[in-house]
Amino acid sequence: MEAAATTCYRHPSYETYVSCVRCERFICPDCMREAAVGHQCVECVKEGQRSVRQPRTVFGGAVPRSAVPIVTYVLMGLNIAAYLGEVVRPGILDRFAMLGAGLVGPDKGYYVYQPGAGAIPGFDAIGVVDGEWYRLLTGAFLHLPPTGATLGALPFGILHIVFNMYALWNLGRVVEQQLGRARYLALYLLSALGGSVLVHLIAPSDLTVGASGAIFGLGAAFYVIHLRLGRDMAPVNRFMAMFLLWMVISAGFASWQGHLGGLLTGGIVTLAYAYAPANRRTAFQAAACVVLLAVLVLLVVLKNSALAG
């Protein structure tokens, strides 16, 4: 008596005599996946991959299967898109730049906010003090326009975004690889927020833009990461010395408060990442980020209260 023909369980029209070594279902060449012994079907291969623990770095970040720093590229894309947007519509800069407290007069001009002066007829308060909290983050994705301040013979607006994106590309790739995407994104946003908060505390009437606060946070993370991994710190120390020297030099035409705030925030976040207890690492790291965020929000609330008199 002739045996019944066997067919692939996924492609019934395909006659085959090869079975999966795990589930023993018959599979055609399109469904075969090479195994240590024989072949496995597509579903068994996927199930096996889910059961294998993904390797992680000492900071808890999943080791990426691809070397492409996706989050870094997305952040660069957002900064560049925002820059193109403000070139096309310059009003975006006034609407979304970091501003702690300012006044708009009857002539639509910008005036310095007078703390405790109360309501001034014909003048409207703007900025974080007036509830525009979004400026704390949106300002970190904007940069000086091409027709803005000049540095030598070149418009500093163009150099502003070029320098920042170059630094983000160089630092971001290293930091993202070690921290993983989620931790890296949290670090970037908290550093940007920390820079804006220090601007609000010290110079609330300054209109500031730029990703420098977040990038200085990445610089601090770069240092802590190498320290935690026990790498040779000599080149890292030289890099940080130049980084801090740039903060001092740029104080004349950039917001040193934003740079310092981002640097301090990035350092605190990465220290929490690096030295979290291994047995409850993720919970500790998440709690540290939440506590830091709460502190930053509280500082803004207190500053707004002081400005309002």
What pLDDT does residue 159 have?
Answer: 82
How much of the chain, in percent, has pLDDT values that exceed 90? 41
What pLDDT does residue 39 have?
Answer: 84
Other CB atoms within a 10 A radius of the CB of residue 33 amount to 15
What pLDDT does residue 67 have?
Answer: 74
Residue 155 and residue 172: Cα distance in Å, rounded?
26
What pLDDT does residue 154 have?
Answer: 47
CA-atom Rg of the chain in angstroms = 27
**Does residue 108 sit in helix, strand or coil?**
coil
Q: Give yes or no for a contact between 197 and 136, defined as CB atoms under 8 angstroms apart.
A: yes
Q: Give yes or no for a contact between 209 and 187, defined as CB atoms under 8 angstroms apart.
A: no
Quick: pLDDT tens for 107-118. Answer: 666 666 666 555
Residues in the chain: 309
**Does residue 63 sit in helix, strand or coil?**
coil
What domains appear along the chain, each with residue ranges and CATH number?
Answer: 1-52 (no CATH), 70-308 (1.20.1540.10)
What pLDDT does residue 225 have?
Answer: 93
Residue 297 and residue 21: Cα distance in Å, rounded?
57
User: 251-265, 272-286, 292-306: which range is least confident on average?
Assistant: 251-265
Q: Region 45-60: what's the mean pLDDT? A: 72
Residue 12 and residue 107: Cα distance in Å, rounded?
77
Q: Region 56-69: what's the mean pLDDT? A: 75
On the question of pLDDT at 92 being above 50, the answer is yes
33 membership: H or E segment, kind and range = strand 33-34
Q: Is 14 exposed, middle or buried (0-12, 13-18, 19+ CB in 10 A)?
A: middle
Q: Region 79-83: what's the mean pLDDT? A: 95
Decide: pTM greater than 0.85.
Answer: no
Other CB atoms within a 10 A radius of the CB of residue 228 amount to 17
Residue 299 and residue 100: Cα distance in Å, rounded?
12
What pLDDT does residue 153 have?
Answer: 45
pLDDT band at 63; cut points 50, 70, 90: low
98: β partners: 208
Whole-number Cα distances in Å, 201 to 129, 149, 191, 250, 305: 11, 25, 15, 20, 12
Average pLDDT along the chain: 85
Selected residue with higher pLDDT from 45 and 175: 175
Q: Give yes or no for a contact between 270 and 218, defined as CB atoms under 8 angstroms apart.
A: no
Buried b (16+ CB within 10 A) or exposed e, 146-160: beeeeeeeebbbbbb
Residue 192 and residue 78: Cα distance in Å, rounded?
14
What pLDDT does residue 269 have?
Answer: 97
Give the distance, in angstroms, between the CA of residue 224 and the centroid of all CA atoms in the same chain.
17
Upper half-sphere CA count for residue 8 (Cβ side, 13 Å) = 15
On the question of pLDDT at 80 being above 80, the answer is yes
Quick: pLDDT tens for 110-141. Answer: 666 666 555 566 667 778 988 999 999 999 99
Residue 196 and residue 29: Cα distance in Å, rounded?
58
